[in-house]
Amino acid sequence: MAIDIHWIRDNDSLGRLCAEWQQLPFVALDTEFMRVDTFYPIAGLLQVGDGERAYLIDPLTIDNWQPLAALLENPAVVKVVHACSEDLEVLLRLTGSLPAPLFDTQLAAAYLNLGFSMGYSRLVQEVLGIELPKGETRSDWLQRPLSETQISYAAEDAVHLAEVFVRLRPKLSDDKYAWVLEDGAELVANLRREIDPYEVYRDAKLAWKLSRAQLAVLRELCAWREKEARARDLPRNRIVREHSLWPLARTQPDNLGALAKIEDMHPRTVRQDGEFLLDLIKRSGSVSPDQWPPAVPEPLPVDAAALLKQLKAIGQAEAERLNIAPELMLRKKTLEALLKSGFPNGPYQLPDSLRGWRRELMGQALLDSLATAGEQP
């Protein structure tokens, strides 16, 4: 069946159609973008599906995104997406807004126990019985004109995404539907949280092996790398490679020769930013102890594995009871944060990352399980 495709290439058309979409119960949203050598994604195409037609919005010819921003923020219109983390970045960069409420079909599939982290093609095959053509993932979405294959691929995405929503929505109980929207809101909230460049060092590889004095250097290196990546619109690894950060903070080179010998150090970085990095290392390496950051906690020891497995089983049992994909229940990082709060002897505290329905359903059971484990001889 031929897809009814409508192009939107000017501000007036976008404004008129956004006003129409404001009256709908839902719209399906998708984006195509390029992110080869930039920090931020570059929008190549936006697709909207209303359940009948596919609308292709050309971001290269539109500069007034306020009508779309208003649609994204309209609480009466559900925005349907699939595995949307990068789509959200595209929308935020273009419009300054993020979609709410957000219904992610990948999450919905997991709540219906169809599968966890399902790719879009597989979900369409499972729910609609339609085999999509191979994706245009390597396409140049900034070229004009777009090829017929690209246009067809983009339009099918918008149309079938709306159809998948129509099929999945009635199968979700009220609770599960609310949880899908809750998880969608969490995705949006995570993107809204500005990453503090001076907190990035906490997640750097092997940071826990460094002294507090060395962490002061790592903190400045990571903060500078994060800020420069944004300012230059380059991937972080084009500023300083990830694997160079820890040895830089540990050995603190004081000349260009030593800097060039750092593990995974790109010659371009030495040429462009070498003198600055040496000065940054020297300055941050000489701050007074009262300015050192706190030590980064060590990873959990091997003997915590049994407790981790015990906690994971609580989530799996609850998933079985609710007929939900078990991977959706308790994230490993959350369980590790719980254990780190009191290992080995307690008391334990539920981490902030355990929120919403998960905290309500499983929070007390997790604490009780750890309390019982502490009583065992």
Q: What is the chain's mean pLDDT, rounded?
A: 95
Cα separation of 268 and 311, whole Å? 47
Q: What is the pLDDT of residues 189-206, one digit of tens each?
A: 999 888 899 999 999 999
Provide the token pair at 261. Answer: 């010998």
Q: Is 104 in a helix, a strand, or coil?
A: strand
pLDDT of res. 135: 65
Per the structure, the complete domain to which residue 223 belongs is given by 197-291
Q: Are residues 214 and 309 in the same domain?
A: no
**Which has the closest alpha carbon to 330: 338, 171, 118, 306?**
338
Position 296 in a domain: no
Give every residue of the chain whose pLDDT is below 70, as ranges: 1, 135-137, 374-377
Position 229 in a domain: yes
Q: Are residues 136 and 216 in the same domain?
A: no
Q: Are residues 369 and 270 in the same domain?
A: no
Q: Are residues 241 and 186 in the same domain?
A: no
pLDDT of res. 346: 86
Residues 6 or more apart whose Cβ sits within 8 Å of residue 8: 14, 17, 55, 56, 57, 58, 62
Q: Are residues 172 and 218 in the same domain?
A: no
CATH classification at residue 98: 3.30.420.10
Kindly write down the DSSP assignment for every residue of 43-64, as one continuous string: EEEEEEE-SS-EEEE-TTS---
pLDDT of res. 122: 95
Q: What is the edge-to-edge ordering of all strands in the sheet holding 26-34?
A: 5-8, 54-57, 42-49, 26-34, 78-81, 102-104
Alpha carbon dihedral 148, 153, 158, 161, in 10-degree steps, equals 160
Cα separation of 158 and 50, whole Å? 8
CATH classification at residue 352: 1.10.150.80
Given 235, 258, 291, the domain boundary residue is 291
Specify which residues 150 forms β-bridges with: none
The residues assigned a catalytic role are 30, 32, 87, 153, 157
Q: Are residues 133 and 171 in the same domain?
A: yes
Q: Are residues 213 and 283 in the same domain?
A: yes
Place of tokens 């596919």: 54
- pTM value? 0.92
Count of domains forming the chain: 3
Q: Are residues 367 and 286 in the same domain?
A: no
Q: Are residues 282 and 332 in the same domain?
A: no
